[in-house]
Amino acid sequence: MIKIKTSFLIGTVLFAAILRGNDMFGQNTAKSKSTVSIAKAKLPFEMPEVQIPRFKVDTLNIIDFGAIPNSEELCTKAINDAIQKCSESGGGVVVIPAGLWTTGPIKMKSNVNLHTKNGAFISFTSDLNQYQLIESYFEGNKVLRCESPIMGVGLENIAITGQGIFDGNGSAWRPVKIGKMTAGQWQELVQSGGVLSKDGKIWYPSEGARTADEEKNKLPKKPTVENMAPYKQALRPVMVSLVNCKKLLLDGVTFQNSPAWNLNPLMCEHLTLRNLTVRNPWYSQNGDGLDIESCRIGTVTNCRFDVGDDAICIKSGKDKEGRERGKPTELFVITNCVVYHAHGGFVIGSEMSGGVRNILAKNLTFIGTDCGLRFKSVRGRGGLVENIWMEDIRMKNIPTDAINFNLYYFTKGAVEDPVTGEMIVEKETVSEETPAFKNMYFKNIYVDGAQQALKIMGIPEMPVQNIQFQNMIIRSEVGIQMNYTANIDFDNVDLKLDKPGISARFFNSQNIDFKEFNSEGENQLFLVGGNLTKGVTLNMKHRKIYSKDIKVLESIKNQVKIIE
């Protein structure tokens, strides 16, 4: 097995550096340092210093440009005029004071810090006429999409800071599934207007939105701004779209209620995201929190997420377009964040066709997220995910898997034996469309309640490989389950099952090493199967393994070694 060097442990130097970075940026930062010094931190990979934007002390107030607070009058022009004037004058700070503000799309410009005062609530209008259809991106591909509430392309030295709240008015855009609401909530939603799907299980804000989702055959074969206008409500934008930008700071602000994904930096460099609150209703379709996509060099620190889909998500493009773009997400340090409701707490995929590498996620807390650490892809994506470190992760009350690898996302390419859990999958030829996950390191993982501790669903032609699990304490109903894996190490893993069952079962896997393993509550320790399985070593921390504790497929018995 290729060992990931444990000598690269993260010390207090990293956190001191990041904390210093949190203090070095104010509203007016002409005298502030321009980088977060992480060069001396003992990261497990070499990483350049993250460049922080700097701004002139010049300050413009949107009121001086005609914005009227506490009314429904749009202040779109006032905000954008102030931003434009600030940028043309060499940069500075544009202030949104306390008050209720209604606006259409905000267009960021280089060298501008859009600063929101405490008490500023910026609500994006539900008038879809304010959002033009444009060539944009979604899920990694170029598409026709509505303008984002906040957007910028090809910018440098930009920031959104302060204590204000940006509300994307997502309920004007999103469909809602009946299963995600109480009966009373569903009745109120239906009575508010909109239309239902043919089966009555999905509410849409308009007939155009329903048609675009349910009857795609009716859509124009060659979409244009003109012929897609009747369906624009289905072309939901991400709330904050920043594309090909450099030196980006988001600090202190609340972003909530987005039409689709919330924050989506794409092909950006030198990102600093800190002290953010990111919120969406738990039923929000595509309501991701943060999707870092094909970006390089950044930190995410001290943020809070409570969203309707994945929370902290790493992506790099989808299928052929993502592979041809060839821009991996790399060189990120994600620390000191809390996730409440989400489909996944920390996620890589499923759009990872450009690759993901050199990521450290440390000191994260997940409370009630559907899944904790989630890695997903599918044949056809391609892309390589490697050199990922996850340390000091705490989870509480996880409804599904604490850790999950799923290489069959949104497909039915695998048949799972309902009794043993063994998967029967046809092997395919390795190509550029084959996704790969390898060289990943999990350390100090603590889970107080999950449906399953670990589930890995690999593919036979490219097993999930070179994975280390070290110093883990997990309480769950179901234990460890692996299919099509290779070079997997468990070192000092303590498992407590709330229901009698099998602690660890794995099939068609090679070079599996359990060392200092401990288990409670099981009625069987190990189930080992699959004709391709070989090189298994089993060792318990406080007990001897007896024949009744392990069941092994007869044809591979000589591949299993018990170490006393």
Is 268 domain-assigned? yes
Domain end: 180, 202, 235, which one? 235
Instruction: Determine the residue type at 185.
Output: Q
Is 389 domain-assigned? yes
Considering the domain architecture, whether residues 224 and 242 belong to the same structural domain is answered as no
- Global pTM? 0.93
Domain end: 403, 428, 451, which one? 451
Tell me the C-alpha distance between 531 and 509, whole Å.
9
Considering the domain architecture, whether residues 303 and 445 belong to the same structural domain is answered as yes
Give the per-residue pLDDT at 151: 98
Tell me the C-alpha distance between 460 and 482, whole Å.
12
Task: Identify the three-state secondary structure at position 411.
Answer: coil
What is the bridge-based pairing of β-strands 415-416 and 423-424? antiparallel
Considering the domain architecture, whether residues 247 and 304 belong to the same structural domain is answered as yes
Is 445 domain-assigned? yes
Is 375 domain-assigned? yes
Considering the domain architecture, whether residues 178 and 248 belong to the same structural domain is answered as no
Is 475 domain-assigned? no
Domain count along the chain: 2
Q: Taken in order 98, 101, 103, 105, is the CA torsion positive or negative?
A: positive
Give the per-residue pLDDT at 41: 64
CA 17 to chain centre: 24
Tell me the C-alpha distance between 141 and 403, whole Å.
28
Considering the domain architecture, whether residues 316 and 359 belong to the same structural domain is answered as yes
Instruction: Determine the residue type at 514.
Output: F
**CATH number, residue 253:** 2.160.20.10
Considering the domain architecture, whether residues 406 and 266 belong to the same structural domain is answered as yes
Is 363 domain-assigned? yes
Instruction: Determine the residue type at 420.
Output: T
State the residue range of the domain holding 203: 168-235
Considering the domain architecture, whether residues 200 and 268 belong to the same structural domain is answered as no
As a residue count, the chain comes to 564
Beta bridge partners of 519: 495
Instruction: Determine the residue type at 145.
Output: R
User: Whose CA is closest to 348, among 295, 380, 310?
Assistant: 310
Residues 6+ apart with CB under 8 A from 216: none
Instruction: Find out whether 259 and 240 touch, Cβ atoms under 8 Å.
Output: no
CA 122 to chain centre: 25
Give DSSP secondary structure letters for 71-134: SSSB-HHHHHHHHHHHHHTT-EEEEE-SEEEEES-EE--TTEEEEE-TTEEEEE-S-GGGS-EE
Considering the domain architecture, whether residues 301 and 373 belong to the same structural domain is answered as yes
pLDDT by residue for the chain (564 residues), tens only, comes to: 444 443 333 333 343 344 333 333 344 443 334 444 555 568 999 999 999 999 999 999 999 999 999 998 999 999 999 999 999 999 999 999 999 999 999 999 999 999 999 999 999 999 999 999 999 988 878 999 999 999 999 999 999 999 999 999 999 999 999 999 999 999 999 999 999 999 999 999 999 999 999 999 999 999 999 999 999 999 999 999 999 999 999 999 999 999 999 999 999 999 999 999 999 999 999 999 999 999 999 999 999 999 999 999 999 999 999 999 999 999 999 999 999 999 999 999 999 999 999 999 999 999 999 999 999 999 999 999 999 999 999 999 999 999 999 999 988 667 888 889 999 899 999 999 999 999 999 999 999 999 999 999 999 999 999 999 999 999 999 999 999 999 999 999 999 999 999 999 999 999 999 999 999 999 999 999 999 999 999 999 989 999 999 999 999 999 999 998
Give the per-residue pLDDT at 337: 98
Considering the domain architecture, whether residues 331 and 383 belong to the same structural domain is answered as yes
Is 127 domain-assigned? no
Tell me the C-alpha distance between 90 and 369, whole Å.
44
The encoded tokens of residue 200 equal 């009555």
Considering the domain architecture, whether residues 225 and 374 belong to the same structural domain is answered as no
Give the per-residue pLDDT at 411: 80
Considering the domain architecture, whether residues 303 and 405 belong to the same structural domain is answered as yes
Considering the domain architecture, whether residues 193 and 282 belong to the same structural domain is answered as no
Domain end: 235, 260, 291, which one? 235
Is 385 domain-assigned? yes
